[in-house]
Structure 1
């Protein structure tokens, strides 16, 4: 184990998790682009996970974001745990001066990452349904408390780390679709319904003994819940090119997650949420090829062109049902 960075040491002391003069050691974790994340062992033997937000994200593009997002991740963890206690790790503390938070350590042997399972072709539609069910439960509970919007004044942050790098940057790469992509960004920014996670991706979901566990809510925002639904479903479509042999399983997960989520929508008509998610999804689909954060596993130009072909057609003729997007993609990968 290594000495953890000084800012993390300071943050742990400020949280009361590390005594003055004591030192903690740990192991840096891989996989994230927006934070330094460590598995830390405290002097008393406790294992914790410690995160420190980065001002410049670890991607090829010059992508910067305010480190204050760490504050809102901590708030999301606290609120979401009230709604679904087993779906979120316990928050142990947060220190704004160092941009550091500490949370419950979930050992990977008991909590594997869903993305890894999907990569290996483990397409459990029942688990995908539970992802949708738990996400809707959290959002439904938060929608009942509109006063919480004041705790998440993150419009500019969400724009900086979601709308601009995904939709606006992609508009620059596809100027003939700039109107459609910027309109999606504007509509999403203006829609205020409930608490949004902002990064519901298989890499941020653990397969826990009691079901899905959501991590990495740095993009937490009071806004449009359709963003979370579309963001996660987008990954299930893209995985069809990562592991083509499991494509039908990924599509079954898409159906299961979407269906379970929409059943749980209580803050507005489910068809209205679905319509926003369905029309947003092609923009996010295209963004994972031509935005600032392309998925790392699509390296062949022919695969990228498949995504572009389907996404562009759907942006020009926006769907209002998720099955339309799913069918267009299934037809493409079958050809």
Structure 2
């Protein structure tokens, strides 16, 4: 245990969680690409989690994002907690001056990270289905409240930390696909339906005693819910290269998550949302190889070429069903 940085302590004081004359002990947590994340023990005995947004993300590319995103992450947590209390940690406070937020601490021995479970071959389609149901519940609740859109004026932020580093950057790497990828950017940016998390990834989902818990909504945006669905399904495709021994089970998870999500869609025709997700997914698939944020576990060129081969074909001939993407990748890897 050590003293957290001054900015985090100042933020806690500004939130009223720490007296002006008091200090606190804590430990930095690993894994933060876009934020400093600390487990902090307050003088009153409470243990909390504190995040402070970074202006320059910890990736190889020069990738910067305004720290004001911390404000919108806090707002997403509050709205998601109203829709599905068990699906998010409780928000304890947020301070814009320091770009920090405080939330409930969820101990890792009770709330392991889904990515680590998958990495070790612990693959549960029922859990994947619940991920789909819970994110759809949050989407559905927000879609009933279009007034929330004014609380998330984050179009430029979402472009800076999602559309540009993923799809626009990939268009630069594959100029022959630029028209299709730029069209995906335009369509996604123009679709305004509900509150989107923006980073629904196994690394941001905890396996809680009562089901999945979503973290890290730094990309919160009022926009296209198909982005969240495609973004999460993309990781299940990619994990087949990380743990090939359970690739078939991962594809069952893909099917379970997609089916449970689509069964919960009530704000539009499920087939319309599925068509957007299915055509966006190949672009995101390729982006995790040739965009600004490549997945760290796909390092061999032969593996990268497998992704490129499947993704490029699907971008040229966009699917309107998710099962088409699943079938193309399954054929490539024998799953």
Deviation at 1:260, TM superposition (A): 0.1
Partner of 2:126: 126
Partner of 2:303: 303
Runs of 4+ in 1 over 2 A off after TM superposition: none
State the SS of the aligned residue for 1:9.
helix
Partner of 1:206: 206
| CA–CA separation in structure 1 for the residues paired with 2:224 and 2:284 | 14
State the SS of the aligned residue for 2:94.
strand
| CA–CA separation in structure 2 for the residues paired with 1:332 and 1:284 | 17
Aligned ranges for residues 6-25 of structure 1 at < 5 Å? 6-25=6-25
1:82 paired to 2:82:
yes
Deviation at 1:334, TM superposition (A): 1.7
| CA–CA separation in structure 2 for the residues paired with 1:5 and 1:25 | 10
Deviations 1:39-65 (A, max 9, x none): 111111110000000000000000000
Partner of 1:286: 286
| CA–CA separation in structure 2 for the residues paired with 1:334 and 1:200 | 26
Partner of 1:32: 32
State the SS of the aligned residue for 2:77.
helix
| CA–CA separation in structure 2 for the residues paired with 1:20 and 1:69 | 26
Ranges in structure 1 where 5+ consecutive residues have no aligned partner: none
Partner of 1:254: 254
Q: TM-score, normalised by structure 2?
A: 0.99
1:70 paired to 2:52:
no
| CA–CA separation in structure 1 for the residues paired with 2:57 and 2:186 | 24
The alignment yields a C-alpha RMSD, in angstroms, of 0.6
State the SS of the aligned residue for 2:139.
helix
Deviation at 1:193, TM superposition (A): 0.4
Deviations 1:275-312 (A, max 9, x none): 00000000000000000000000011100000000000
Partner of 2:142: 142
| CA–CA separation in structure 1 for the residues paired with 2:25 and 2:281 | 42
Deviation at 1:21, TM superposition (A): 1.3
Partner of 1:314: 314
Deviations 1:191-214 (A, max 9, x none): 000000000000000000000000
Deviation at 1:143, TM superposition (A): 0.1
| CA–CA separation in structure 2 for the residues paired with 1:246 and 1:24 | 44
| CA–CA separation in structure 2 for the residues paired with 1:63 and 1:183 | 22
Deviation at 1:14, TM superposition (A): 0.5
Equivalent residues, number: 335
Deviation at 1:188, TM superposition (A): 0.2
State the SS of the aligned residue for 1:26.
strand
1:245 paired to 2:232:
no
Deviation at 1:268, TM superposition (A): 0.1
Ranges in structure 2 where 5+ consecutive residues have no aligned partner: none
State the SS of the aligned residue for 1:2.
coil
Deviations 1:104-155 (A, max 9, x none): 0000000000000000111100000000000000100100000000000000
State the SS of the aligned residue for 1:107.
coil
| CA–CA separation in structure 1 for the residues paired with 2:44 and 2:305 | 53
Partner of 1:93: 93
| CA–CA separation in structure 2 for the residues paired with 1:29 and 1:300 | 29
| CA–CA separation in structure 2 for the residues paired with 1:174 and 1:274 | 25
Deviation at 1:20, TM superposition (A): 1.0
Deviations 1:132-179 (A, max 9, x none): 000000100100000000000000000000000000000000000000
Partner of 2:192: 192
